[in-house]
Each structure stands twice: as C-alpha cells, then as structure tokens.
Amino acid sequence: MKAKKILQAFYYAGRGLWVVAQQERNMKIHLVVTVAVLMMTLYYSLEGWELAWIILSTFLVLSAEMFNSAVEAVVDRCGEDYHPLAALAKDAAAGAVLLLALQALIAGIVVFAPKILVLWR
C-alpha cells in the first residue's frame, strides 16, 4: 500500500507541474528561458560549481513560480472582492519569484558572460 501512495503523490505532483505549465503565462516564460539556459550549459564547458549554480538557480525560480501559482489560486478561490491581505499575499508571492529570477540572472551573468566575451575577442 505504501508504494501506491508514493506513486499517487508523484502523479499529483506531476499533474501540478503540467497544469501550471499549461495555464500560467509566466511559467511558460520561465520554461522557455530554462530550455535556453540548459542549451547554453551544453554548449559551454562549465565547471561543476557553475553547472550546480545554474541548475539550482533554475529550479529555485521554477519552484517559486509554482508556489506563486498556488498562492494565487487559493486567494482567487477565497473570493473576488478586493482585500488588502489578499493583495499582499499575491504581491509577496510574485515578489519572491522576482527576487529569485534576479538571482538567477546574476548567476547567469557570472557564469556565462566570461565565456561569451571570449568569443568576441
């Protein structure tokens, strides 16, 4: 029975990923950027720490977007009337995504800029 429960948990988690990827515009943007970044990791020779930093940054942004989508869904489910706490919850979740996206951008610049600049010299 435990194996079945574990498989169900993976099924629901996968379904959550799929639904968010299908329905949320920002997740689609993050996924396109992720594919581009992962292609760059294949093109450039990255050291272990560089690859780890890029992968960690990417997964943090995608995870934050999943949490943001969950917060938005719960807040929207609670009602359509404006409430300052509902706005705060949505804005804070979006702000977390923004912070991690900026961190990922910085990681990308630190890792890829020196490699790209070598090609221009």
Q: Is 12 annotated as a binding residue?
A: yes
Q: Is 80 annotated as a binding residue?
A: no
The b/e string for 2-15 (b: 16+ C-beta within 10 A; e otherwise) is: eeeeeeeeeeeeee
Q: Does the annotation count 65 as an active-site position?
A: yes
Phi, psi of 81 (to 5 degrees): -70, 140
DSSP state of 44: S
> Active site residue: 47, 50, 65, 80, which one?
65
Q: Is 90 annotated as a binding residue?
A: yes
Q: Is 11 annotated as a binding residue?
A: no
Q: Is 91 annotated as a binding residue?
A: yes
The catalytic residues are 65
- Residue list, annotated binding site for a divalent metal cation: 24, 72
Question: Residue ranges for the binding site for substrate?
Answer: 65
